[in-house]
Amino acid sequence: MMEETWVVAVRSIIAFLTLIIYTRVLGKQQMGNLTYFDYINGITIGSIAGTFATDLSSKAWIHFVALTIFTIITIIFQYITLKNRTISKLMDSDPTLIIQNGKILEQNLSKMRVKFDELTMMLRQKDVFDITTLDYAILEPDGSLSVVLKPENQPVTAKDMHMHPPKSKLMTEIIIDGLLIKQNLEERHKDINWLSEQLKKQKITIQDIAFAAILPNDKLYVDLFEDKITEKIDMGDYEGPF
């Protein structure tokens, strides 16, 4: 029993390290654009790695070879789909128009096997709460939704107003789970004295903070472990026990 445990442990470590290396070789496409091919491919590679780690009835080398060959085939197909548009469309499918002029195209929605509840969820993720504000909505091959607002509902940009705003900055995390990230604080040209002054104004300490970040406008955003929310909003309509 002990010997089998050590064998599984060693195999698991090898499988884990192999997966890290191979997924890096395959590139970010595996995570960033999960098309049908990528999804099935990821499941298969994971299944081979799992068998590699736990199947003691066969030699580890066999599973390692299978994992390597499958990865090589995936790389070959990635290259082919980059060079051949027809095969790319065959593997990844086409985008599908599901909303036009604010009207849902039920036939296309049914063809993609997307429920109305799923559609409204994806619209909310795009900050669309009024379907009549849309000109088009397109279901992409990776399952994500792209939307085009009607001209009168599109936000006004600085270019439209002939303005020249300052250069954009990113939000920078400086406190996570009550721990200060000094490097990020210094990157925004702030010091501990500045942070202490900001926290003093709010009468809190670093240990009270679950998450804090310096916003693009150099203001401090703080979220405490204990949020004082008096009224909680229920988004569901299910009255069951769970």
- What are 152-194's pLDDT values in tens digits? 888 887 777 888 777 777 899 999 999 999 999 999 999 999 9
* pLDDT value at 30 more than 50: no
Place of tokens 């026990």: 241
Query: b/e for 147-184, b at 16 or more Cβ within 10 A?
Result: beeeeeeeeeeeeeeeeeeeeeeeebebbeeeeeeeeb
Query: pLDDT over 70 for what percent of the chain?
Result: 86
**What distance in Å separates the CA atoms of residue 240 and residue 222, rounded to the nearest whole number?**
35
Q: What is the CA radius of gyration of the chain?
A: 25
Binned at pLDDT 50, 70 and 90, residue 122 comes out as very high
| Assigned token pair, 5 | 């445990």
